[in-house]
Amino acid sequence: MDFNTKSIILLADDDAEDRMLVTEALEEANAGCTIKFVEDGEELMDYLLHRGKFSQKEEFPAPNIILLDLNMPRKDGREALIEIKSHEHLRCIPVVVLTTSKAEEDILKTYSLGVSSFITKPASFTSLVDTMATLCKYWFGTVKLPLSLSCYSII
């Protein structure tokens, strides 16, 4: 599949095993992206706003897409999504919920908050590989994203 290796996925998920599985699924799908991780909504906002340990913009570049788990400690995905969408310079970054939740309430709430897509985490690794391949093909092969995410670079 080999998309642009400059494409950056920022995964916000507190589960180390899920982070590893997503990384392996992206490798298996030959996505060719760089993946960065944060473990909760607080770290996600620190990364996006270049605060604390994420202050080095070269080391922690703007993501082309955010994969967001809903159920995380400190600040959950819903709260982080509200904060992302409240920052004019962050709104243009596509946010895809990737969660175990199948609750209609979560689906409705996140779409009303401006999420780009809602995906329930697949149960099998093979399905996860297929999901990651489809996600990358869509976001990095089909959709036209801003080249520089200039809306993000104003901070």
User: Where exactly are the structural domains of the chain?
Assistant: 8-142
pTM of the predicted model as reported, rounded to 2 decimal places: 0.88
CATH topology of domain 8-142: Rossmann fold (3.40.50)
pLDDT in tens, 87-140: 888 988 999 999 988 889 999 999 999 999 999 999 999 999 999 999 998 988
The pLDDT assigned to 152 comes to 54
Q: What's the pLDDT band for 2 if we cut at 50, 70, 90?
A: very low
- CA distance linking residue 19 with residue 115, whole number of Å: 20
Question: For residues 50 and 29, what is the distance between their CA atoms, to the nearest angstrom?
Answer: 30
More confident residue, 141 or 133: 133
pLDDT at position 1 over 50: no
Q: Which residues contact 37 (CB under 8 A, 6 or more apart)?
A: 10, 11, 12, 13, 19
Q: Which residue has the tokens 């999901």?
A: 131
- Give the per-residue pLDDT at 146: 67
Q: Give the N- to C-terminal CA distance of the chain in Å, as an integer.
A: 33
Checking if the pLDDT of 153 tops 60, the result is no
pLDDT exceeds 80 at position 149: no
Predicted confidence at residue 88, as pLDDT, reads: 86
Check residue 144 and give its pLDDT: 79
Better pLDDT: 154 or 13: 13
The pLDDT of residue 5 is 52
- Residue 89 confidence (pLDDT): 84
Strand, coil or helix: 126 = helix
- Contact (CB, 8 A) for 64 and 38: no
- Helix or strand run (H / E) with residue 77: helix 77-86
pLDDT for the residue 54: 94
Q: CB–CB of 19/13 below 8 Å?
A: yes
